[in-house]
Amino acid sequence: MFDKYVRFIKNISINAYGKAGVILTTSSFLVFLVFELARMTGILTNAYIGLITYLLFPLMFVIGLILIPIGWYKRLKSTGKTTRQLLQQQFDDNELKESFFGSKLSLKIGLLTLVNILFLLFASTQMLSFMDEPYFCGTACHSVMNPEWVTYQQSPHARVKCVECHVGEGTDALIASKLNGMWQMISITFNLYERPIPTPVHQLRPARETCEKCHWPDKFYGDRLRKIVRYQHDEKNTPVYSTLLLKIDSGKKGEKAGIHWHVAAENEVRYVSVNDKREEMIWVEVRQADQTYKRYFNNTLLEAEKIETSDPRILDCMDCHNRATHIYQDPEKAIDERIQAGFISAGLPFIKREGLRAISINYNDQNTGLIGIATHINNFYRRNSPLISTSQMPEIDRAIYELQQIYQRNIHPHMNISWGSYASFIGHDHNSGCFRCHNNHMISNDGEYITYDCTTCHSILAMEEMQPLKYLEPVEEKTRGAEMHRYLQEEFKKYYRK
């Protein structure tokens, strides 16, 4: 049985082309099996090897298969024989009947073709599911995606696959993303891509097909407490406290409510921005109860900037949560977080100020950066307080390590990513984020603007206070603002835990 097939394969590989074809097909098939086994058992994990396994080997397999009929065609041409004659020369009569169809030979060819198709189907489904793995997306083009990969792994979505946000469901989405992926491979091969990768990502699917598969707008209710500690640049790194109560409600039908009001099913906000960058609005519209739209114009733009280069965009999750996963930090906030967590010792004099200086310097590449940070901090303490530089050596080393971690996550010189390259739209740092629309220069025809009152989006329970608990001190009834004070006191008792 088995040697029959071997003989068959010998006969079918009629000349050099055919032989090359058979060797290519068989060897790529066998190597594929070995690699697939190694991947399944976890011996090989590298993304490049995955690409080779699922792309290169099946490709060689197909090329080999194509070479075999080419060999036959060449032989027919060179000898001038008919197909029938050639078949008779290569195979004995036993395998060939009167007609080719229905013969043992055609059965064999049919069977082998089926095996080939099954193999290729298997390889391509493996390829598709492999290319959906974050590990592949994050590391296949190594240095290009490294910033996204690093930030992704430290995000709340570290267990959500890239494709769940970037591709969404349905065959259309799949095909579009594969075409896009092919373009990406080309642009990486020929070094055509931009550094940093530009945002916004216009081809992201609407949030309804991605984010809302896991988070649905009706689910947002109530308030979310944010306790923010900032450290000053003095010797003691003195902390100041802010406490916000973010109103994240999506609201009841028809009512104005909290922050997720924008994405409740019955509401719609849409806008056009300068160059479709989503940073500077040209106009913003909000749908009214009677289904008409009320429009607010930006009255600070020059005529040239008012040219609309895109269709209106309906505001969705990504207009605020543009950094849901690839979260780059603000350098100051990143240090504050680590001091607060106790990773960087607040007992090190001027550590906030010097840490910030160390990570703000422009280094040529990551390695120089890591060394530069260590040098800066070590030198600072050696020069200014030799005593501390010896007595607090472990704290200094730890601080250096933490600063290096911050640096590694946020700064990627090879992609030109530095502090602020990818701004977040949550909040209103640098008058961006919410203040792109909530401000006093987006004005409607009847002179109204979109509210930007400080209590629209959050109650401010404390704002950069040295002693946030002062609200717990008793209030004198007759003083002005006593009522507000009592309210804050209640809120504080409810929420503030030291």
Longest dimension (CA), the chain: 115
How far, in Å, CA of 409 to CA of 87, rounded? Answer: 66
Q: Is 214 in the site for ligand HEC (CB under 6 A)?
A: yes
Task: State the nearest-atom distance from the C-beta of 487 to ligand HEC, in Å.
Answer: 17
Q: Is 201 in the site for ligand HEC (CB under 6 A)?
A: yes
Residue (180 or 375) nearer to ligand HEC, CB:
180
Q: Is 411 in the site for ligand HEC (CB under 6 A)?
A: no
**Could you identify the residue written with the tokens 């990502």?**
201
Task: State the nearest-atom distance from the C-beta of 351 to ligand HEC, in Å.
Answer: 19
How far, in Å, CA of 162 to CA of 166, rounded? Answer: 6
Residue type, 201: V
Q: Is 264 in the site for ligand HEC (CB under 6 A)?
A: no
Of 387, 357, 358, the residue nearest 373 (C-alpha): 358
Q: Is 286 in the site for ligand HEC (CB under 6 A)?
A: yes
Query: Which residue of 422, 461, 468, 488 would you call a contact of ligand HEC, by CB under 6 A?
Result: 422
Q: Is 192 in the site for ligand HEC (CB under 6 A)?
A: no
Q: Are 389 and 420 in contact (CB under 8 A)?
A: no
Q: Is 138 in the site for ligand HEC (CB under 6 A)?
A: yes
How far, in Å, CA of 376 to CA of 112, rounded? Answer: 68
Query: Which residue of 68, 165, 339, 406 would you call a contact of ligand HEC, by CB under 6 A?
Result: 165
Q: Which stretch binds ligand HEC (CB under 6 A): 21-29, 313-321, 345-353, 365-373?
A: 313-321
Query: Which residue of 64, 134, 239, 372 would you call a contact of ligand HEC, by CB under 6 A?
Result: 134
Query: Which residue of 17, 231, 241, 261 would you call a contact of ligand HEC, by CB under 6 A?
Result: 261
Which 430-449 positions form the footprint of ligand HEC (CB under 6 A)?
433-434, 436-438
Residue count, binding to ligand HEC (CB under 6 A): 77
Of 493, 454, 455, the residue nearest 471 (C-alpha): 493
Query: Which residue of 200, 206, 312, 413 would you call a contact of ligand HEC, by CB under 6 A?
Result: 200
Query: Which residue of 47, 131, 164, 274 would you call a contact of ligand HEC, by CB under 6 A?
Result: 164
Q: Is 188 in the site for ligand HEC (CB under 6 A)?
A: no
Query: Which residue of 72, 241, 271, 350 would you call a contact of ligand HEC, by CB under 6 A?
Result: 271
Residue (102 or 198) nearer to ligand HEC, CB:
198
Q: Is 239 in the site for ligand HEC (CB under 6 A)?
A: no
Sequence-distant (≥ 6) Cβ neighbours of residue 417 within 8 angstroms? 147, 195, 196, 328, 410, 411
Q: Is 456 in the site for ligand HEC (CB under 6 A)?
A: yes
Buried b (16+ CB within 10 A) or exposed e, 341-370: eeebbbebbbbbbbbbbbbeeebeebeebb
Q: Is 319 in the site for ligand HEC (CB under 6 A)?
A: yes
Q: Is 256 in the site for ligand HEC (CB under 6 A)?
A: yes
Q: Which stretch binds ligand HEC (CB under 6 A): 64-72, 124-132, 232-240, 426-434?
A: 426-434
Residue (19 or 321) nearer to ligand HEC, CB:
321
- Alpha carbon 83 to its chain's center: 57
Q: Which stretch binds ligand HEC (CB under 6 A): 220-228, 365-373, 396-404, 468-476?
A: 220-228
Q: Are 402 and 338 in contact (CB under 8 A)?
A: yes
Q: Is 320 in the site for ligand HEC (CB under 6 A)?
A: yes
- Alpha carbon 342 to its chain's center: 29
Q: Is 284 in the site for ligand HEC (CB under 6 A)?
A: yes
Of 76, 74, 73, 95, the residue nearest 85 (C-alpha): 76
Q: Are 404 and 356 in contact (CB under 8 A)?
A: no
**Could you identify the residue written with the tokens 């950066």?**
369
How far, in Å, CA of 225 to CA of 460, rounded? Answer: 10
Task: State the nearest-atom distance from the C-beta of 208 to ligand HEC, in Å.
Answer: 8
Q: Is 244 in the site for ligand HEC (CB under 6 A)?
A: yes
How far, in Å, CA of 323 to CA of 333, rounded? Answer: 15
How far, in Å, CA of 491 to CA of 498, rounded? Answer: 14
Query: Which residue of 81, 104, 166, 357 would you call a contact of ligand HEC, by CB under 6 A?
Result: 166
Query: Which residue of 160, 348, 351, 373 would you call a contact of ligand HEC, by CB under 6 A?
Result: 160
Q: Is 329 in the site for ligand HEC (CB under 6 A)?
A: no
Sequence-distant (≥ 6) Cβ neighbours of residue 31 within 8 angstroms? 57
Which 18-57 positions form the footprint of ligand HEC (CB under 6 A)?
none
How far, in Å, CA of 58 to CA of 274, rounded? Answer: 47
Residue (67 or 197) nearer to ligand HEC, CB:
197
How far, in Å, CA of 166 to CA of 203, rounded? Answer: 8
